[in-house]
Structures are given as C-alpha cells and as structure tokens.
Copies of this chain bind each other. A is one copy, B any other.
Amino acid sequence: MNRSQLFEQIKKKKSYLCVGLDTDLQKIPKHLLSAADPVFEFNKQIIDATHKYTVAYKPNIAFYEALGPKGWESLQKTLEYIPKDIFTIADAKRGDIGNTSSLYARAFFEQMNFDSITVAPYMGEDSVKPFLDFKNKWVILLAHTSNPGSSDFQLFESNGRKLYEEVIRKSQQWSTPDQLMYVVGATQAEKMQSIRALAPDHFFLVPGIGAQGGDLEMVSKFGMNDHCGLLVNSARAIIYASAEKDFSKRASEEAAKVQQSMEIYLHAFT
C-alpha cells in the first residue's frame, strides 16, 4: 500500500486507528480454546468487529513466535483474512546485517505479504536498507519508544542531539516518507512537537494509547500533519475489552469510541 492509498483510507474511515493483535492464549475468552485454531478464531472475530473503524492491524510477532510453527500458521491465516484495503504492520523489531535483513524482508514481505515491518536501528544503514528494496513496502523504524527503558540509550546525547533524533535525522538519507515511518511513543506535547519538526512529512506509529497510558488528543494536536501522518495503536484496551462471549461486541464498541474521537481530531487539526 502506498502513502496516498493509506491517506485515502484514513479520510474514508475518519480514523487513524491501528489495532494491535497481541493475541495471547491466556487472555482470550475461554470458549474459543476448543476451536481448531483459537488464535486465528479470536483474530477473525476481532477483525470482523473492528475493521470499519480501523486503518491498520499490527500483529505483535512475539505472540505468534511463542507458539512455535503453529503460531506462524495462525499469523499467516490472520494476514490473509485482513481486508486488502487495511494497512498491515509486522511488529517484529528486526534488524541485522544486510544479507540477514534481506531474509527477514522476504519472510515478512513475500512469504507473508505484510505492508510494513518495525525495525530496530542499532545496526545502522545496511540493516535497514534491504527492507526498502520492496516496492510499496515500508520500514517503521524505532525512534523513540514508550517503554521505561527507552531512556537508557535513546536519550544518549551528543552535541545537543539525542540518539533518537540522530536516528530520525540520519535515516532520512536512506529513504523517503513514501517508505519510511517512525515509532514515536511520545506522551509529552513538547517532545511530540519537536519530533514532528524533525520529520514533517513522515507517518508516525504511536504506541502507548490505552493500556500503556497516553493522551490521544495531545498526540493528535502536536503530531498530525496535513495528510494525518499518524497511526495510533491500541491493543489491549480494544481486543481484551471483555474476556467473555461478548468480547467482539465490546471490542467493536471500544474501537468505535476511539474512531469517534479521531474524527473530531482529524477535523480540528488537519
């Protein structure tokens, strides 16, 4: 999916919601455990219930990998089930030497046909570039994450420039906003504003709304650009809104609530 197609979807659905498919056998409703593939069954019902309000789905690859080969089959079926006009993100945080990153790119872009993958920047340019060789496929590079440990190295500072700022600056030499997004977990207004100034045209994938705390209005106000430029992820608050038989109905209600706020912010801030 290219950038203008993504923006079209955002305008059509009046939403920039990304639903995180962090599907955990220990958390899904018990009645699904007797299905042939409980993970896929859960995802299928969540997708049916939320796709009207959603422009992206983001399976967290760890949850599937932890189940062994069966988990990869559930992931592949899930990906095939997602409507083709919805952007898909492999939240895999990969990144390795060139020939190895090429293989990860093949795994996620060819074997599984994801639109994008999250990539860790530590190993530099040749670890990122192989993912950019695929037309209309995207790298979502970790810039500033929202977890407690994000301050350990991402704030390491050289001549007034923090590491995450250096990642944003340097990586713009490798690609364009048509193939490169950033993970920006900023929950402070000034920080979101300063990161947007560094990368005015890029999409940001913003985690940290919902179970991780955060503030959708602030993120929208200071992070939006004229083609939205935001995908805001919510996982647990939507997919685990209920652990009972009404889980898909509750997920739909939660996603709708977020979409309604987003419709207001899209009107107010673009």
Contact = CB atoms under 8 A, between A and B. Distances in A.
A96 to B, nearest CB: 5
Copies in the complex: 2
Contact of A104 (B65, B70, B104): B65
A264 interface: no
Interface residues on A, range: 35 or more
Nearest to A148: B126
Most B-side CB within 10 Å, residue of A76, A104, A145, A149: A149
A208 to B, nearest CB: 10
A125 B149 contact: yes
A152 interface: yes
Nearest to A97: B147
17 contacts: A22-B100, A60-B96, A62-B96, A62-B100, A65-B104, A66-B107, A68-B111, A69-B70, A93-B96, A122-B142, A123-B142, A123-B145, A123-B150, A124-B150, A152-B170, A153-B163, A156-B156
Given A60-B100, A65-B107, 8 more contacts: A22-B100, A69-B70, A69-B72, A72-B72, A97-B146, A120-B120, A126-B148, A152-B170
